[in-house]
Amino acid sequence: MAQAVRTQRSLISLLNSDGEAHPVENTLAIVTIVLGAIAAFSTLSPGLHLLSSWVGLVGIGTGLWGQFISSTTGERFLLIIGLGAAAFGFYLGLAHGGLFGGVIG
């Protein structure tokens, strides 16, 4: 049986693959990707361990909450990528000095 092929043209249409709008879930997915990228790239400089550890921790929190309420596979895909990057940044930030390293104590 021939079926019509839908072409998806934007990131939002990839995230809303069920045809319904999910503004909260999409926002959490995008925020988790951005926080994960900041956390991962800030680990390139060990002096930015406060930034990478705190942003990574917040990224892990938003990613886990996004996974909890996500509706589509596209959202879950972006959330897992962002969670991995945020966790990577968080753990390397902890290795370079931690959440309070040098500020308290």
How confident is residue 2, by pLDDT bands cut at 50, 70 and 90?
Answer: low
Quote the pLDDT of residue 1: 59
Q: Flag whether pLDDT at 11 surpasses 70.
A: no
In this structure, which long-range contacts are made by residues 52-56, counting pairs with CB atoms below 8 Å and at least 24 apart in sequence? 52/89, 52/90, 52/92, 52/93, 52/96, 53/89, 53/90, 53/93, 53/94, 53/97, 53/98, 53/99, 54/93, 54/99, 55/86, 55/89, 56/86, 56/87, 56/88, 56/89, 56/90, 56/91, 56/93
Quote the pLDDT of residue 12: 64
Quote the pLDDT of residue 97: 87
pLDDT (tens digit per residue) in 19-76: 788 889 999 999 999 999 999 999 999 889 999 999 999 999 999 999 999 989 989 9
